[in-house]
Structure 1
Amino acid sequence: MVEINIIEKASSGEVLHEFGALNTLLFVIILGMCIVCAYLIKEYRFYYLPESGAAMIVGLIVGACARLFYPSRKEMEFLRFNKLLFYFFLLPPIIFEAGYSLHRKNFFDNFSTILLYAVLGTMVSTFIIGYLTFYAGQAGWISIDTSSPLEALLFGALISAVDPVATLSILGNPELNLDPLLYSLVFGESVLNDAVSIVLFNTFLKFYESGKEFTPTAVGMLLVEFSLISLGSVACGFVTGLGCSLLCKTTNIKKYPKYEIALLFLFAYGSYSLAEVMKLSGIMSLFFCGITMAHYNTTNLSKSSQVTSESIFQSFALAAEFFVFLYMGMGICVGQFGRWDFTFMILGIIFCLIARLFNIFPFSWIANLGRSQKIPFQMQVVLWFAGLRGAIAFALSQDMPGANREVYTTTTLTIVIFTTIVCGGLTEPLLKQTKLKIDDDEDNDDIAAEDEHGLLSTEISDHPPSPQITRRRQSSSEYMAPPNYLGSFWGNIDEKYLKPVFGGQIRRNQ
């Protein structure tokens, strides 16, 4: 009897091992297919199908084949979107690489405008989508809970998250030769507004579970909570980045490049995990940790690590992006969701476009009142059109309470597919139409060369800048806002006190 149990356990273990090996091989193959598709899109400049959209389609095909030919429960569960896998394994490399390779001057010169879109604009978008959804339910167009607007506001909060994963996968392509101001605004908003959406979602969820009404007093509490979470998240990322910089500067670890790069990974994940444990925004913490490391720690690294680390981060981020969109594509066919409301899907897309309209144009007008370099109307149109939804909205939708969770999840997935494939695919023609994309082969080559250097500025890199790159940087500088007093004050503290302790290239013209 004992021998039979041992044989059964051994047989079960072998089956499980074989199942894992086959599915690992499957993911290797489909990930390779995604990379080949991305290569063909870049090689032939077929921007009507974004790389993320191609990954979604590959995932859809794989999910459909699995459903038809191997529809076992274990296989369907394996191919389903896993929130834990997304939040702690796939999202961190993408966000960290974005902060590590960020053009910091463009980002912080436009920081006040980015905050307008990311904070106030996201709140406006949340309430517009939420109440439009609520009134559509009251009119009988869609089947949702109409006893209170809280359920609809939860949907408004999650669908207002402009996803940095989707944005980077489409607008982050250097071949698009995107206007530097436009990229700073779109990308900056997409990173920061996730924290707003998550805080809004969690706050509405607390009120929903407690049975309390959402009063004007609750709005004030929400603003206070968001401010505390944002400041705490930035501080967490900044301190973690400084800790890594100090360790690399005060030791001889640069003699061992593999240890340097391993430390960068550990501090990055530590920043994200610490923020999540403290109930802060891991996304915001990790993003500012990447900025801090790039600013202070680059010169502390060995020359080989300066180049190698960035290539490694980009490769991990690329693979993670493809996995995210593959999982969302496979989620359509693996039987994860049962309720699809086509009326709600169409209305949801329309509500998102309307809310985005009231986000971008009014706040662009307010921002232009204090900007020397105005945001032109055609750029506002692209900003409105580029409100791509992605995996963060999809992950939040699976936390929806109540009996209508599947309807909200399938509607969110539909909006993600629409904004990624349709809006993402039409982004390049729109950039050409609005003349925000320079369609010139020489400029494309210059951008590719500049992208190869990445965060290594001319003061840091051993590679002398080419005349083409110099011209490109000069043309980009016309979009940068003039220095402000706060920036000058921080710059002085940075040069005199922080860089001598933590590292970083000190400017010669003090």
Structure 2
Amino acid sequence: MSSKSSKETSIDKSIETSQESRVQINHVSDSMTLLLYLGLLIVTILTVWLFKHRRFRFIHETGLAILYGLIVGVIIRYGSPSYQPSITMISIEDSPEQSNKLPPEKVLVNMSVLNESQIYEYDYKRRLYGNDINAPILDEKATFNPEVFFNFILPPIIFFAGFSMKRKHFFRNIGSILMLAFLGTTISCFVIGGVTFGISRASARLASIVSLSECLLFGAFISATDPVTVLAIFSDLRVEPDLYALVFGESVLNDAVAIVLSESIETYGSAAAAGETAAISVLKAIGSFAGVFLGAIGIGCLLGCLTALITKFTQVREHPLLETSLFVLMSYSTFLAAEAVKSTGIVAVLFCGICQAHYTYNNLSDESKATTMSFFGLLNFLAENFTFVYIGVSVFTYSSHLWDPVFIVAGFLAMIIGRVLCVYPLCGLANIGRRRSGCAIGLSRMHVLAFSGLRGAMAFALAIRNTSSDARKIIFSTTLILVMITVLVCGGLATQMLQWMHIEVGVEEEPNRQRLDRQDSTG
């Protein structure tokens, strides 16, 4: 018995020493990774300051973040230390019981360690391909869990979009914004899905990988616009507020619509795969869309109004630190509450931000007003730029890429067609009502709206969340390329586009109502 105990102690000590060594290696690599991203953000901020100082507007901070990320991604991929963790390949023999099963979430391995039988637990991570097995450890460390984006990066971006909304101009254009966000995003989704599905049939390889539901899912992902670059230039140049409100309002709401659309399409795909009829599958998808969207709106508005009531009928404003802490925690809990009930936290936190700005903000003390606006503005800035840095880095370090030139070209063409069919017909339809009030959207403004449909953080986050199949890998890689193209090209040409379209700039913050149908040479 004593020899047995002594042997176990020796095994435990050896494992403890080995584990301590692994912890140290992981700690160093994690620190290097975080330092790397912080360094990229610092360099991006300093370069942005230089560009603003020199009034150089051909590239925005998000474009810089992508370029710097690409450079560092190359260095990590081809110049990082080649340390490899110990790897043992275990083959499970095929059996009738195992062949029809999915990979288990956990594996219990009974192995001999130092001549002693031990059972160890391992978690499922992902499917590996040949070139993934020997990837450097820094490649893996530079790639974060996709849930990090949904739980920590996206919420402050979306919340600040609702919280910083200029309500006067937003609600003055609410009809056109809702039409572009809801109907336009739906049109774009199905056009992109249909075009990519049609073109992909020309490739035997793609036809065997990508189905119609997956093309529609890609359409939902890529229909989420993120014109942060264009909006920053609009703000710097003080573009007419109604045009700003249209671009901003569409981008804020269509992110929410794109998320719920993607979930509804997945519901449709699951129902169809289960053998249900097309009609039943469509009805389930529509029901899922309505239920998730309305539920998320309800949760967001409820917690936003609850925060307003707490700040109004308590004396917490006498303690600004507590007041600000309560505001931040209540706002973030909206996202978690919606996710906990299987709704969409992004939609909930957006409408929470709108309610907080409309009701709660006026109840706050002056110190808390300044603190909350600055705090969420800071989080938004860092989260957005981190996302674009990560986009650049992940081109070379992410292990789940599957590049297909045909699908990339199809996606690019489909994105343009979808944007055109989204903006021009719907703006024409909106003008039926807008002309009565003398604020129709002129043709030049339609051109700017169409041009402002950049893809960004939301499309990337939706695509990276699940890359378990070949089809999802192709969708993710294509989304990555389209995000970079639109941010770098459209973002870089935004100032020139305003000049070409003769859009008025230098407008005061609260001008008399501007007419968007002013006669000009392009409109």
Task: Classify the TM-score, shorter chain.
Answer: 0.7 to 0.9
Residue of 461, 486, 489 corresponding to 1:422: 489
Say which is worse superposed, 4-13 or 228-237, in terms of deviation.
4-13
Change (3 A) 1:129 1:320: same
User: Who is 1:159 aligned against?
Assistant: 222
Q: Specify the alignment match of 1:67 in structure 2.
A: 77
1:156 aligned partner, one-letter code:
G
Say if 2:495 is the partner of 1:432: no
Gaps in structure 1 of 5+ consecutive residues:
444-470, 482-510
Is 1:16 the equivalent of 2:26?
Answer: yes
Distance 1:42 1:159, change over 3 A: same
Q: Report the Cα offset of residue 4 of structure 1.
A: 4.5
Which residue, out of 379, 384, 391, partners 2:445?
A: 379
Q: Is the counterpart of residue 185 in structure 1 residue 246 in structure 2?
A: yes
Could you report, residue by residue, the CA deviation over 1:310-344 in whole angstroms, capped at 9, with x for unpaired residues?
11111111111111111111011114244212232
User: Could you say which residue in structure 1 is the equivalent of 2:119?
Assistant: none
Which amino acid letter does the alignment assign opposite residue 209 of structure 1?
S
Percentage of identical aligned residues:
36
CA contact (8 A) 1:207 1:214 kept: no
Q: 1:341 aligns with which of 367, 382, 404?
A: 404
Q: Please give the residue correspondences for 1:235-250 in structure 2 after superposition, counting only pairs within 5 Å.
A: 235-250=298-313
> Which region of structure 1 is more displaced relative to structure 2, 417-426 or 33-42?
33-42
Q: 1:172 to 1:220 in 2, by over 3 A?
A: farther
Give the distance between the partners of 2:429 and 2:170, measured in 1 at CA: 19
| Structure 2 match to 1:478 | 514
Moved more, 183-192 or 361-370: 183-192
Shift of 1:169: 4.2
TM-score of the aligned structures, taking structure 2 as reference length: 0.80
Which residue of 319, 323, 344 maps to 2:382? 319
In 2, the alpha carbon distance for the partners of 1:283 and 1:271 equals: 9
Paired residues for 1:286-301 under 5 Å: 286-301=349-364
Deviates more, 1:5-14 or 1:120-129: 5-14
The answer to whether 1:283 aligns with 2:320 is no
Question: Are the counterparts in 1 of residues 268 and 284 from structure 2 also a CA contact under 8 Å?
Answer: no
2:474 to 382, 407, 412: 407
> 1:255, CA displacement in angstroms?
2.2
Pick from 145, 167, 185: which aligns with 1:122? 185
CA contact (8 A) 1:191 1:283 kept: no
Contact 2:195 2:410 in 1 (8 A): no
Matched, 1:171 2:231: yes
Aligned residues: CA RMSD? 2.4
Which consecutive residues of structure 2, in runs of 5 or more, have no partner in the other structure? 1-9, 83-135, 518-523
Q: Which amino acid aligns with 1:406?
A: K
Contact 2:402 2:473 in 1 (8 A): yes
TM-score when normalising by structure 1: 0.82
Indicate if the aligned counterparts of 2:419 and 2:453 stay in contact, CA closer than 8 A.
Answer: yes
Q: 1:35 to 1:283 in 2, by over 3 A?
A: same
Q: CA deviation at 1:405?
A: 2.3
Conservation of the 8 A alpha-carbon contact between 2:338 and 2:348: yes
Checking the alignment, whether the CA contact within 8 Å between 1:179 and 1:437 is kept in structure 2 is yes
Matching of residues 441-456 of structure 1 within 5 Å: none
For 2:341 and 2:13, the matched residues in 1 are separated by 50
Bigger shift: residues 59-68 or 388-397: 388-397
Q: Deviations over 1:350-406 (max 9, x none)?
A: 111111111100000111111121111111111111111123222322436743222
Q: Secondary structure at the match of 1:135?
A: helix
1:132-174 deviation per Cα after TM superposition (whole angstroms, max 9, x unaligned)? 11111222387244885222222222211213xxx23441352
CA contact (8 A) 2:176 2:246 kept: yes
Contact in 1 for aligned 2:384/2:457 (Cα 8 Å): no
- Matched position secondary structure for 2:396: coil
Tell me how far apart the structure 1 counterparts of residues 194 and 17 of structure 2 sit (CA, whole Å).
Answer: 60
2:265 alignment partner in structure 1: 204
How has the CA–CA distance of structure 1 residues 24 and 409 changed in structure 2, closer, same or farther, with 3 Å as cutoff?
Answer: closer
1:390 to 430, 435, 456: 456
Query: Aligned residues, how many?
Result: 447
Please give the secondary structure, in 2, of the residue aligned with 1:46. coil
CA contact (8 A) 1:125 1:160 kept: yes
Q: What whole-Å deviation, never above 9, does each CA across 1:468-510 have from its counterpart, x for those lacking one?
A: xxx54124x33599xxxxxxxxxxxxxxxxxxxxxxxxxxxxx
CA deviation map 1:67-92 (0-9, x unaligned): 12215433112212532111111111
